[in-house]
Amino acid sequence: MPLSNSKQTDVVSTRDPHSSFIKTPKQLIVVIGLSFVVPIVGIILLVQLVVSRPAPDPNAMTDEAIAKRLQPVGRVEFGGAGAAAGSRSGEQVYKAVCTNCHQSGVAGAPKLGDKAAWAPRIKEGLNELVGESIKGVRAMPPRGGDPSLTDEEVARAVVYMANQSGARFKQPAASSQKADGKKVYETTCSACHASGVAGAPKLGDKAAWAPHLMHGTDGLLQSALKGKGAMPPKGGNPSLSDGEVRAAVEFMVTQSK
């Protein structure tokens, strides 16, 4: 018996929610394609996210890196203002430079007054300790990270710290004989400054020396000790003491004003 129009409508309405939204072969192809493409794109994005995540620097936690990060932005100088290089006492150098690590024992530095930590170092002898402090050892940079320190100032600081920690070292004697600046110039500096090699200002050339003299003698000394431009540290003669380098700088300055 045929259904009435109202009954046919009821049957259709009850079946519509269960009917598929895919009506044509084209729609079927699109759905199949998306079922492959979407997961692949998701996997690719996930891989990129994992690969692009910043990895920690394996060198960030070394003793050297830690000590470098702990270096202060500035330093407080104890003692007379404008103290000339080479004139600071061991205690002044310690408070201005060495305390950064030796006060708290950063990166294995022996703490001031810790006799147990200093004992094996004191046995090495003063010369060995001073040599290591000048060149740098383990996490400690050369001259404690302050290249302006002279050899004598480094030695005074070592004696001060060691004696505060059980040693009985004598303070290093100050150089009683002033270095011969002219002699140092003739044996080392003249190789470049006599002829102006690689842009070195020639001895006596006031115009060439004028911009350099603006840095002052201490500024020129630091450039000579550390090296600058084509000039190697200490003019390429590492056997020169800081006092000899200073004497050579002062000689060239007086000859070129």
Alpha-carbon distance of 8 to 30, in angstroms, equals 33
Residue 24 or 205, more confident: 205
Neighbours of 26 (CB within 10 A): 9
CB-count burial class (<10 Å; 0-12, 13-18, 19+) for 229: exposed
Alpha-carbon distance of 90 to 11, in angstroms, equals 103
Give long-range contacts, CB 8 A cutoff, 24+ apart: 74-81.
75/146
CA distances for 165 relative to 114, 120, 214, angstroms: 6, 11, 43
According to DSSP, the residues that pair with 140 across neighbouring strands are 137
The pLDDT of 128-144, averaged and rounded, is 88
Residue 197 or 54, more confident: 197
Residue 214 or 62, more confident: 214
Model pLDDT, residue 80: 42
Decide if pLDDT at 75 tops 80: no
CA quadruple 69, 70, 76, 79: dihedral sign: negative
The string of pLDDT tens digits covering residues 91-112 is 989 999 998 899 888 888 899 9
66 is written with which tokens? 């830690």
Hey, which of 2-6, 69-73, 194-198 has the most confident mean pLDDT?
A: 194-198
Domains contained in the chain, CATH given: 64-163 (1.10.760.10), 181-255 (1.10.760.10)
| Residue 218 · residue 84 · CB < 8 Å | yes
Neighbours of 61 (CB within 10 A): 9
CA quadruple 146, 151, 155, 160: dihedral sign: negative
Alpha-carbon distance of 100 to 71, in angstroms, equals 7
Residue 231, classed as helix, strand or coil, is strand
